[in-house]
Amino acid sequence: MKLKELADQLGLSQTTVSRALNGYPEVNKATRERVSEAALKFGYSANANARRLAIGRIGAIGILMPRDRSERFGPHTSEFFSGLAEQLSLHEMDLLMSPSINNDELAAYRRLISSKRVDGIIVTGPTLMDERVAMLTEAKFPFVLHGRTNIAAPHAWLDIDNAGAFRQATSHLLDLGHRHVAMIDGLKGHTFSEHREMGYREALVERGLPVDPRFIVHERFSDETGFHEAQRLLSYAPHPTAILAGSMMTALGVFRAIRSKGYELGKEVSVIAHDDVFPYLNASNMVPAMTTTRSSIRSAGSRIAELLVRVLDGEPVENIHEIWPVELVLRQSSGPPIAPRR
């Protein structure tokens, strides 16, 4: 059913029907109700393309998916998307996932813009001098960044306090008496990874403790790398008595490594993991329950969608910056260092 047909049914013009449906004030109340009812009855809904062509707004925001399987499409992504979609539905916007072709991410972003399929873009996983951010800023295309960069030109972003999270966790461990604390985090170059390392270093330096570069590991997030890297760390002498894990997946691997070395988790070796809050993988239900620096990536997604809508509504991007605090939740996987019983 199209607008014209609906209008004919009602004996009204397309214009009036359109106005009634879109909530224009100058329509008679009785008429509006009659139109609404008929629309419902016939299951009429405007052809999105025609509508968009006419009003010049797309009604969708885009996010690029890396084609490459490895790095970025993990459980975080799905939680984040979920938050995005939840919020966007409130604004009757769609979420368009476009896979980037040929590893040429920048070209994919350009194509997304020039084909006018989205009103705005969400950018995730930035590096310190992210070229996508630079490009989009220069092109003046609306976007919100999940994370931060060192790029000076104003742009909208939301990030969690990664440095604070790792500083807090490291400080806590040091205060408990640990003297050898290691961290296994995500790949180098990404802002979050650099910030976390900064926080970790700050906590050590603050106490006048040395930084051992062997104890700072940057790797892909997965149980496998967590396992291997933790095994390696634990084979040093002296080995770390506490390990920070950059993700829950990493943490699972670290848990296994500690057990396979015969250490008691939470006593001989402590673990604090960063938890993006997965409904299907709960830190408090592990054995022992895992101490985490916790921040909901789903909420971040939701909020970012909201911010992008505001950008689209014309709010100046230099006003749109948020840093979310990260909460340290103490559970059983961390405690004072206890020497092995052997």
Partner DNA sequence: CTGTTAGCGCATTCAG
Partner DNA sequence: CTGAATGCGCTAACAG
Footprint of DNA on this chain (CB under 7 A)? 2-4, 11-16, 18-19, 21-22, 26-29, 31, 46-47, 50-51, 53-56
94 binds a second copy (CB under 8 A): yes
- The closest of 135, 250, 243, 280 to 187, measured between CA atoms, is 250
Any contact of residue 331 with a second copy (CB under 8 A)? Answer: no
Q: Which stretch binds a second copy (CB under 8 A): 29-37, 97-105, 167-175, 307-315?
A: 97-105
136 vs 342: CA distance, rounded Å:
59
Main-chain dihedrals φ then ψ at residue 74, nearest 5 degrees: -110, -160
12 binding partner (options a second copy, DNA, none; Cβ < 5 to 8 Å by kind): DNA
- Nearest to DNA of 140, 341 (CB atom): 140
Minimal distance, residue 30 CB to DNA, in Å: 7
With CA atoms as reference, report the closest residue to 308 among 127, 110, 123. Answer: 123
Which listed option, a second copy, DNA, none, makes contact with residue 313 (CB within 5 to 8 Å by class)?
none
d(CA 97, CA 67): 11
Q: Report the partner that residue 18 touches, choosing among a second copy, DNA, none (CB closer than 5 to 8 A by kind).
A: DNA
Task: Mention every residue, 6+ apart, whose C-beta is less than 8 A from residue 69.
Answer: none
- Select the residue interacting with a second copy from 106, 129, 205, 287 (CB under 8 A): 287
Residue that the structure tokens 């603050």 belong to = 206
- Using CB distances below 5 to 8 A depending on partner kind, what does residue 141 bind out of DNA, a second copy, none? none
Nearer to DNA, 8 or 68 (CB): 8
Side chain identity, residue 158: L
Indicate the DSSP class of residue 178.
-
* Cis, peptide link before residue 75, omega less than 30° from 0: no
Between CA 43 and CA 329 the distance in angstroms is 50
Cα–Cα separations (whole angstroms), residue 26 to 23, 45, 67:
9, 21, 49
Contacting residue, 34, 117, 180, 232, with a second copy by CB under 8 A? 117
Q: CA-to-CA distance for 73 and 81, rounded, in angstroms? A: 11
103 scored as a contact of a second copy (CB under 8 A): no
Would the CA dihedral through 191, 329, 246, 222 be positive or negative?
Answer: negative
Residue 245 φ/ψ, nearest 5 degrees = -110, 130
286 binds a second copy (CB under 8 A): yes
Considering only residues 213-272, where is the footprint of a second copy by CB under 8 A? Answer: 221-224, 227, 249, 252-253, 256, 259-260
Residue number with CB closer to DNA (4 or 214): 4
Q: Which does 70 bind (CB under 5 to 8 A by kind): a second copy, DNA, none?
A: a second copy
Closest CB to DNA among residues 50, 97: 50
CB 128 within 8 A of CB 108: no
* Site of interaction with a second copy (CB under 8 A): 1, 43-50, 52-53, 58, 60, 65, 67, 69-70, 73-75, 77-79, 81-82, 85-86, 88-89, 94-99, 101, 110-111, 114-117, 221-224, 227, 249, 252-253, 256, 259-260, 279-282, 285-287, 298
